[in-house]
Amino acid sequence: MWFKELETERLHLIEIGHHHAESLFEILSKDEVTQYDGIESLTLVEDARRLIDSFKSAYINKRGMRWGVILKDSGKFIGTVGLHQLSLANKRAEIGYEIHPEYWRKHFTSEAVNEVLRYCFEELRLNRIAALTFKDNIASRNLLKKFGFKEEGSLRSYLFLRDQSHDALVFSLLNTEYCQLRQQSVQESYRF
């Protein structure tokens, strides 16, 4: 399996390398980003390098893929989107994402997630994509629902962050649901 770079109207989704460490650090050192990411804010650029190494290891071992989100017009690295808990044999993965706050509410996350979902269902032929969110992460919950994810339930005290346990909500999207939504979208685009 080679690393597949993806493209959208405004974004390049690329393999993340050590040359992106400072940009990744700039994003993941912000408490407003990590408060719902399940990790503590990074304090050293070296932490970002280690994280990039873990992305590479997960990919080599076919357990995950993480793309850097790059703006086409400027080449700026603005976040990541990717898969973890990837199981090609079981045709499933979990999706996660984080974007620099400067680019929130500009639909970059939606654009990147849409392309990753297309890749997962149409090229990798996965059957299920799941996502875990903090209960308080309204923006992420709304994004998942926009793409047709269904809330399955909660995992009590599943996440431990900043000296506190947090419940996690579990969402999932199945291939059949994805195909139905794509078909509806195509049909609606032909309506006058």
Kindly report the three-state secondary structure assignment for every residue of 3-57. Answer: CCCEECCCEEEEECCHHHHHHHHHHHCCHHHHCCCCCCCCCCHHHHHHHHHHHHH
Residues 33-86: pLDDT tens digits?
A: 988 877 889 999 999 999 999 999 999 999 999 999 999 999 999 999 999 999
- pTM exceeds cut of 0.75: yes
List pLDDT tens digits, range 72-129. 999 999 999 999 999 999 999 999 999 999 999 999 999 999 999 999 999 999 999 9
